[in-house]
Structure formats: C-alpha cells, structure tokens
Amino acid sequence: MGFSRREFARRSALVGAGVALTGSVGALASAPGALAAEPDAAAGPGRLGYGPLRPDPAGLLALPAGFSYRVVTRTGVTRLESGESTPSNHDGTAAFAGPRGRTLLVNNHELKGPRPGWKHPVPLAEGLVYDPAAAGGCTVVEVAGHGDHVAEWVGIAGTSTNCAGGSTPWGTWLTCEETEDRAGQNGMTKDHGYVFEVDPHDRRANRAPKPVKALGRYAHEAVVVDPGRGHLYLTEDAAGPNGLFYRWTPPRGFRHGRGRLRTLADDAGVLQAFRCFDSGGRFVDDLSRAARVGTVYGVDWADVPDRDARSVPVRKQFAAGAVTRARKLEGMWWGDGGVYVVSSFAREESPVQHDGQVWFYDPRRRTLTLKVLLGVNKDPGRDGAFDGPDNITVSPYGGLVIAEDGEGVQHLFGALDDGRTYPIARNELNIGTPQKPEFSEFTGVTFSPDGRTLFANIQEPGIMLAITGPWRRQGRRES
C-alpha cells in the first residue's frame, strides 16, 4: 500500500536533509569540474584516492603507483575447458567465494543477434542452451590468489545481449537479456528479453535453461535482490519511450533459494513500475528533471498489465502520467539497506540533458534520492572529466566504484559522500586509429569476496582484469 503524497511531503520536511546523506555514498558531486579534480599526488593516509594514473608500457591499463593488474581472460587468447576461445564482449560480472580459497566469477557476454555475426560467440555447450540461434550467454571463470586464471567454462548459452545482471544472497547470478527480440526476429528461434539464473557452484543446476518469466520480458539491464524483504528490483535500458525501474514482489509463501526462481509460474508475484512525485505532491515524469544533488522523490508502484509483452512492449503499456521514466537505466548494486541505480546519460529523448546520475532507493522510506549528477561533458576526450556511469559496485573501502561508459577516455573511478572523486584506472587500449582513437567501455566492476582484488572488464575485444594494490579506506580527512 503506497503512502499518500501529503504524508511524503511531511516526511520530506522532517528528514529531507538526512535522507540526502544516507548511506556510505551520500550526496555526491554534481559538476564535471568537480569530478575532474586531480587527486593529491602525495596521496598518503587520509588523502583522497591513490595518486595520479601512470601510463602502462603495455598500453592496456593505467593505474596509480603501487597498483598492478593481471589479465584473467582475453578473447582470442585464453581458452575454455572445452577448447574454444573465451567469448567476446565482456559485460556484467559478479564474484563468489569458490572452493579451496578460490574465486568464481560469472561473466556476461553481450552478444546480440545470431551466432554467425560473431567471431567468438558463447559455445553451445550440451544441455546449457536456451536458443541455439543466439550468440550470447555467460561463462564462469575460476581464479586463484589475486587473479591467476585456473579455468573457464560455459554457465549458459543461447541467450542474447547479456548485459548486466546481479548476484543473489543465495550465491547465484541473474543474467539479464537487453533485447526484446521475439522468435522469428533477427534470426531468433525463441522469445528473448528475460532473466535467467546461473549457479557458479553447481554446473548441473544450469542444465535445461529456463527464463524467469515472472520478472517480465523487456530490455533488461540489471537486477538486485532485497535480502530482507525478498523483492527484486530491475532496470530497463530502452528508449522511445524511455525505460522504467521495476519491482517484483514474490507471491505469498515463496521462499528464495538456489534454483527456486525457475520453479515460479510465469505470472507469479507482482511486477510493478515506479511512479515518483516530489515533496509538493507533483508527479515526476522523468528522472532527468532532477537538477540538484540531494533531490528526494517519493515512490509508488503501478502494476504492469502484461509482463510478457505479448503485443505491446511493457514500457509502452502505461498512459502518460502513470509511471516515471529515465534514459539509460543501467547498473545497480545493493548496499546500505537499499538500491544504488544508474541513469547513464540523457539527451534529446529526455526533458533535461545530463551525463550521468546515480540514485539511491530506500525501500523502508520508499524514497529515491539523487546521489550523483554529472553535467554534460563538453570535452570527453580530455582525461579526468568523467561521464556515462554504467556498472557500479559499493566499495568495501567506502563510497562507490563506477565503470565509465561515456565518450572519449574511459575510467574506473571512485565517488565519495562529500563531493570528491578520484580515478582508479584508465583504459589505454586503442581499438580505433591513431588519428581517431577509440576506447571501449569498462564493465563488470566487482570486488573479490575478501575485498583485496577489484575485477573489471574492458568490453571490446573482451578482457577481464584483476587489479590489486594498497587499497585503503577512503573519505577520511586528516585531523
């Protein structure tokens, strides 16, 4: 049951300032100038970040002094247990504690459309194929120590455009298809646009893949699980019209656990899209309208009429004024008792342009708070001005670590609760030409279970990296 707009206005007056600083991230910087601030080169205890990035003689990854990386997988170089190349186009990733102190990483491969269009699709491993015409899927990568490659195998194959996803409290990965292709479209033999569960610990559990249709069919991006309430939150990366932020409520009596989502009926539970309103009770049609960090919206939820989108895409099933939209709803991560969710950028398809937002949804208060707002980056080729946040993770060292998917230079960067940000890595692999350099986005940012290794991907051609160094708590100022 949603609370009234009058009740939200009363709560906002009482706790608005506190909400803006809730959690480990709080209200973050709002201007490209602030985000481009250089860290102190002598970044010692109590100082921001780890110092300036140093060029890589190998031309792959610039890191601060004292940090190093290892290539865990690389398309065309590393091999699966079955002998094929590591598939290309690495995307969303999560890390799980494996046997004998090792780490298991489930890695999405964002390959859209039919297999012949890709040099290195996900192999059609026996028993693990959903649609034999589709090129995408997931692999499971086992590493020892701080990134030594041990083995890699297929977790699921025959899916399409596996972009982000999310880990579950019960130790599995939910991989999301960012497509709406139906059987007969783009060479597909089955409907796509679903979420599938992949178990990194039990290969047998992944046999005979089955979509979790209860979570809807649309251009899925990411998903997180509320470990206390059991809700699943999902983002949609789509335009014309802009996509939606969803909540799925499990049916009464349902208990989460390994493999239980695939037992659900196609219409199990309730799938809803969010509807925001400001402290004055005014409906908010698009999240891009928020022009100030600390903006707080109340959230209600509207039932999805036809979650399988049999004739009309889900986001088009709502009349004007029924739901709130946002462009490029991308990565999410659970932390601080709620959901951090990204809107990567907004252009002419949105009421207001920006180069990135990060929001925090508090399910207890049912409020959505703007934590990060990046103004439009006028010079994306200049190193230091961040834009286009995509995959994110909550850092064990404070704040967020954000993977950049913008124009020009691409970074991993950290963001804190007092307006300070700092670079962690820069992609130096030019996949363009010397005259027109091009750098692929970072994806799949995630820490190892012990917090000592940061894993991240360069999407093209497909490289998984393990970054280690003198990690330390960020955000503490010297006395």
The DSSP string of 228-282 is TT--EEEEE--TTTTB-EEEEEPPTT----TTTGGGS-TT-SEEEEEEEE-TTS-
Neighbours of 407 (CB within 10 A): 16
Instruction: Give me the residue spans of the domains in the chain.
Output: 5-468
Helix (H) / strand (E) element for 7: namely helix 5-19
As beta bridge partners, residue 359 has: 341, 370
Whole-number CA gyration radius for the chain = 21
Q: Which of 170-174, 236-240, 292-296, 381-385 has the lowest mean pLDDT?
A: 381-385
67-84: average pLDDT: 97
Q: What's the burial of 381, exposed, middle or buried (CB within 10 Å: 0-12/13-18/19+)? A: exposed
Measured CA to CA, the distance from residue 25 to residue 7 in angstroms comes to 26
The tens digit of pLDDT for each residue in 14-51 reads 333 222 322 233 334 433 333 333 334 344 445 789 99
Which residue in 387, 398, 291, 279 sits closest to 23, CA to CA?
A: 398
Is pTM beyond 0.75? Reply is yes
Residue 25: predicted pLDDT: 39
Give the pLDDT score at 12.
Answer: 43
| pLDDT value for 477 | 45
Name the DSSP class of 127: T
C-alpha distances out from residue 327 to 25, 209, 356, Å: 22, 30, 10
d(CA 458, CA 466): 11
What integer best gives the mean pLDDT of the chain? 88
pLDDT in tens, 162-180: 999 999 999 999 999 999 9
* CA 202 to each of CA 99, 172, 191, 199, 337: distance values in angstroms, whole numbers, following the listed order: 12, 10, 26, 6, 29
What CA–CA distance (Å, rounded) separates 209 from 243?
27
Kind and range of the H or E run holding 454? strand 454-458
For residue 303, the tally of other CB atoms under 10 A from its CB is: 10
Read off the pLDDT of each residue in 356-383 and give the average, rounded to a whole number.
88
Report the length, in residues, of the chain: 479
Which of 431, 445, 439, 372 lies closest to 407, judged by CA? 439
Average pLDDT value for residue range 132-136 = 98
Fold of domain 5-468: Neuraminidase (2.120.10)
- In the numeric block, the tokens 């206390």 are attached to 228
